[in-house]
Amino acid sequence: MTDPTCHFSHAITRQPAASAVNGLRAHDIGAPDMARLQADHDAYVVALRATGAQVTVLPPLSGYPDAMFVEDTALCLPQGAVILRPGAPSRLGEAAEMAPTLATHFTDLRRIDGPGYVEGGDILVTGREILVGRSARTDAAGVAELARIVADWGHRLREVETPADILHFKTDCSLLDAETILTTERLAAAGCFEGYRLIHTAEGEEAAANTIRFNDVVLMPGGFPRTAERLDRAGYTLVEINNSECAKLDGGMSCLSLRFNSA
């Protein structure tokens, strides 16, 4: 049976809008090719569905160029969901757009009221705790408000620091099973993963760190053969998805879905 931490009956995704060409990015390396972006998104949804999960594909939101990165809008836990408060001003309204869909799945739906900010890309839920990295998008007030909510549900939240120049905490790490984390060397060096089993991305393949363990498979971006080999040798079943266009918008595997188990 799949590790319960990585078992998901449902996922929510959102189609990329044509306006995604205007999405936020730290460095401009060119506009995404929309046909390729759509094909990659389709492949991602197919891969999630192939594990047996029910996957909702929401329509594009043209007013929010980054809205396909749904992970930043909410945190889904077994006890309920939290509507987050994205720290990028152009993304703040995306959270309210997600609320009606989550309300169809969760009876206990809470929200970060502010004034702080939290984006889901900064949250790693492991088998023993919820790690939240402060970043340019997630601040101390937002983390404190989230900590109060999840404590009410019996979860321990540990605040850590996302290294400067890294967009989100999970840009550089992902959960492979309850006790195992895939991480870049630079994030592991910050010392935030004590007690976990770590697998490091290969040198020069730091962009492979953002994967998702979804039921029995690990979805990872294509084009990182040495990291893929490490994961394969460790016994994980890999599904590689082209991420070249999402990467132009600083997006990756985790950003494209909200995942939860309501079975």
- Residues designated catalytic: 168, 255
**Number of chain positions touching ligand GLY (CB under 6 A):** 10
Q: Which amino acid is at 153?
A: W
Which of 16, 23, 120, 142 contacts ligand GLY by CB under 6 A?
Answer: 23
Report the residue from 40, 66, 177, 240 that binds ligand GLY according to the rule CB under 6 A: 66
Kindly state the DSSP code that residue 223 receives in the 8-state scheme.
S
Residue 24 makes contact with ligand GLY by CB under 6 A: yes
Q: Which residue is nearest to ligand GLY (CB)?
A: 24
Q: Which one of 17-25, 41-49, 102-110, 144-152 is the stretch in contact with ligand GLY (CB under 6 A)? A: 17-25
Q: Could you tell me which stretch among 42-50, 56-64, 187-195, 247-255 binds ligand GLY (CB under 6 A)?
A: 247-255
DSSP of 159-212, one letter per residue? EEEPPTT-SSGGGSEEEEETTEEEE-HHHHTTTTTTTSEEEEPPTT-GGG---E
- Asked if 122 touches ligand GLY (CB under 6 A), the answer is no
Phi-psi category of 207—alpha, beta or left, where left has phi over 0 and alpha has psi -120 to 50?
alpha
Q: State yes or no: residue 245 binds ligand GLY (CB under 6 A).
A: no
For the sheet with 157-161, list strands across it.
Answer: 123-125, 130-134, 157-161
**Considering the complex, what minimum distance in angstroms separates the CB of residue 235 from ligand GLY?**
32
Nearer Cβ to ligand GLY (88/207): 88
Local structure of 144: helix, strand or coil: helix
Segment interacting with ligand GLY, rule: CB under 6 A, options 75-83, 173-181, 183-191, 248-256: 248-256
Which of 250, 253, 257, 259 contacts ligand GLY by CB under 6 A? 250
Looking at 57, 88, 109, 136, which residue binds ligand GLY (CB under 6 A)? 88
Distance of alpha carbon 196 from its chain centroid, rounded? 19
What CA–CA distance (Å, rounded) separates 81 from 150?
9
The region, left, alpha or beta by phi > 0 then psi within -120 to 50, assigned to residue 219 is: beta
Query: In the chain, which ranges are E strands?
Result: 10-14, 54-58, 74-77, 80-83, 109-111, 123-125, 130-134, 157-161, 173-177, 180-183, 197-200, 212-214, 217-221, 237-241, 258-260
Minimum CB distance to ligand GLY, residue 67 (Å): 10
| Candidates 20-28, 56-64, 152-160, 194-202; binding stretch for ligand GLY (CB under 6 A) | 20-28
What are 87's two structure tokens? 């720290």
Taking the complex as a whole, the smallest distance from the CB of residue 91 to ligand GLY amounts, in Å, to 6
Is residue 166 near ligand GLY by the rule CB under 6 A? no
Is residue 249 part of the contact set for ligand GLY (CB under 6 A)?
Answer: yes
Interface residues with ligand GLY (CB under 6 A)?
23-25, 66, 69, 88, 91, 249-251
